[in-house]
């Protein structure tokens, strides 16, 4: 007897073509794919012709657990994830305490095992002092370096400290690439201004380009796997287009694809983030970079802060916005508008992140692969509404935007996690594993 049978779905193949049929899940895997499966199952879902996609892997989220659980925790963050079709996430180390030791990582793993309805993985955070831990702590998807300061205390901005980390070890290094010295100099230069748009002037394109260029040069010097998080500028896209070694990857996030400086007038500090939102030319360059493979995949950088915190008035406002539950509908809506294809969405959001982080068996609907799936409705649009969000902070920069592609069901390891607006509270995700 199968654990789960999904019938009458339009099933996405990795190449973006569709076939109509059934999917049987057993032991956490896709056991069978066929045009018709007549076998008993403990649970059967009639997909009624809806689109079945591989579960999304969101390779950059901030779930604030432990330390700032009033903003989010692994229970609410993972629930927001599955609401948005995200079945696995990689979570960032700027928690309190920061994830810089085996002990801190173990605490997160324990919390996640208890609370997360999605599969989970964690980064180890770099400091100038924890080189030994960076290379020994397990299991981690990679090393995160904040080259410029953002939320939390993590920062490695001295050239010799960066060099030591790149020179020692083989793990993937993911960088938040903003140049700390330039941020500080420009913050002083613009100190008279308190309008939110000044955030994009202080942390200008050159601030990002400088740090990305330094990370790229270190990666080349030591042939070290490098991932540039949330690429945001046309200059960085051009830099990688001219010179991108095979061991380097880059990501874009919906905020930098769909928002730009014109949105400060409407949304103010709600759209304040690091690196900041830019111009329409930067939006276009990021789309072009995704389409030609210079940018490898999409993350959300889900970074929840409460509305009260976000309304304190610049510069007393924290940077970041929630996004884990809206990325797939945003991209599927863009697909309907002709901006990308179903093949690209699967590459950018499903198997692309899995390949880069060497997570086996995820991101494609194939027999024997993990049964991480999401069944979405691309026929009907529904507006994002703050009050309907699953994130603990209960707001979204996309409030009011009509989106297609909302998940009806999300399935994690063959178990239903999200069912027509409700969480199956007994479902639990598993720790992600990484190939050497
Ligand atoms: O805007 C941001 N918020 N950028 C980051 O790098 C961190 C994040 C957060 O954790 O709030």
pLDDT tens across 224-277, in order?
A: 999 999 999 999 999 999 999 999 999 999 999 999 999 999 999 999 999 999
| pLDDT at position 103 | 98
The pLDDT score that the predictor gives to residue 176 is: 98
Please give the Cα distance from 76 to 390 (Å, whole number).
7
pLDDT of residue 168: 98
Dihedral sign computed on CA atoms, order 363, 369, 375, 379:
positive
pLDDT tens digits along 290-310: 999 999 999 999 999 999 999
Instruction: For residue range 85-103, list pLDDT tens digits in order.
Output: 999 999 999 999 999 999 9
The pLDDT value recorded for residue 124 is: 98
Q: What is the mean pLDDT of the chain?
A: 98
What pLDDT was estimated at residue 66?
98
Average pLDDT over residues 128-157: 97
CA 208–ligand 1 middle distance (angstroms): 14
CA of 21 to the centre of ligand 1 (A): 42
Q: What gap in Å lies between CA 34 and CA 165, rounded to an integer?
A: 49
Residue of 123, 273, 314, 324 best suited for mutating to test ligand 1, as the one with most atoms within 8 Å of CB: 273
Please name the residue whose Cα sits nearest to atom 3 of ligand 1: 320
Calculate ∠ Cα 389-395-400, nearest 5°. 85
Cα–ligand 1 centroid distance for 391 (angstroms): 16
CA 285, CA 396: separation in Å to the nearest integer?
25
Mean pLDDT value across residues 27-39: 97
Per-residue model confidence (pLDDT) at position 374: 99
Catalytic residue among 58, 179, 282, 301: 301
pLDDT of residue 157: 96
Q: Kindly report, residue by residue over 354-370, the tens digit of the pLDDT.
A: 999 999 999 999 999 99
Which residue's alpha carbon is at the smallest distance from atom 4 of ligand 1? 274
Q: Provide, rounded to the nearest whole percent, the portion of the chain with pLDDT above 70.
A: 100
User: 205-222 and 180-189 helices cross at what angle (nearest 10)?
Assistant: 170
Instruction: Give the mean model confidence (pLDDT) for residues 182-197.
Output: 96
Mean pLDDT score, 146-168: 96
**What is the value of pTM for the model shown?**
0.98
Q: Tell me the CA–centroid distance for residue 353 and ligand 1, in Å.
A: 20
Indicate if 301 belongs to the active site.
yes
Task: Look at residue 425 in the predicted model and tell me its pLDDT.
Answer: 96
Ligand 1: lining residues by beta carbon, under 6 Å? 62, 94, 150-151, 176, 273-274, 303, 318-320
């Amino acid at each position: 007897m199968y654990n789960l049978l999904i019938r009458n779905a339009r099933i996405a193949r990795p190449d973006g073509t569709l076939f109509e049929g059934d999917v049987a899940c057993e032991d956490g895997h896709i056991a069978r794919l066929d045009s018709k499966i007549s076998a008993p199952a403990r649970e059967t879902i009639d997909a009624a012709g809806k689109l079945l996609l591989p579960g999304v892997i969101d390779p950059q989220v901030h779930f604030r657990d432990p330390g700032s659980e009033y903003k989010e925790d692994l229970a609410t963050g993972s629930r927001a994830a599955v609401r948005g079709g995200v079945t696995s996430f990689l979570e960032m180390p700027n928690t309190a305490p920061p994830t810089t030791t085996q002990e801190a990582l173990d605490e997160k793993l324990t919390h996640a095992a208890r609370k997360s309805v999605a599969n989970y993985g964690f980064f180890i955070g770099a400091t100038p002092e924890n080189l030994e831990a960076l290379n020994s702590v397990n299991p981690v998807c990679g090393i995160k370096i904040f080259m410029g300061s953002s939320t939390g205390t993590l920062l490695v901005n001295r050239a010799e400290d960066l060099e030591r980390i790149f020179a020692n070890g083989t793990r993937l290094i993911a960088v938040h690439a903003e140049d700390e010295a330039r941020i500080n100099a420009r913050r002083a230069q613009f100190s008279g201004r308190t309008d939110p748009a000044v955030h994009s002037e202080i942390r200008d394109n050159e601030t990002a380009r400088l740090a990305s260029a330094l990370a790229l040069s270190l990666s080349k010097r030591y042939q070290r796997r490098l991932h540039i998080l949330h690429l945001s500028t046309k200059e960085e896209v051009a830099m990688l287009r001219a010179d991108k070694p095979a061991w380097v990857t880059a990501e874009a996030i919906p905020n930098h694809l769909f928002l730009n400086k014109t949105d400060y007038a409407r949304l103010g500090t709600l759209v304040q983030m690091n690196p900041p939102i830019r111009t329409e030319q930067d939006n276009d360059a990021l789309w072009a970079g995704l389409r030609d493979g210079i940018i490898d995949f999409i993350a959300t950088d889900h970074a929840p802060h409460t509305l009260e915190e976000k309304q304190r008035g610049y510069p007393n406002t924290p940077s970041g916005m929630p996004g884990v539950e809206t990325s797939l509908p945003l991209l599927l809506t863009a697909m309907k508008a002709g901006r990308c294809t179903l093949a690209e969405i699967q590459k950018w959001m499903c198997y692309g992140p899995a390949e880069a982080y060497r997570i086996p068996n995820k991101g494609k609907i194939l027999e024997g692969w993990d049964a991480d799936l999401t069944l979405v409705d691309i026929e009907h649009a529904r507006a994002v509404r703050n009050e309907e969000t699953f994130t603990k902070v209960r707001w979204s920069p996309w409030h009011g935007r009509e989106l297609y592609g909302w998940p009806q069901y999300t399935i994690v390891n063959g178990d239903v996690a999200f069912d027509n607006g409700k969480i199956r509270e007994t479902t639990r995700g598993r720790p992600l594993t990484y190939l050497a």
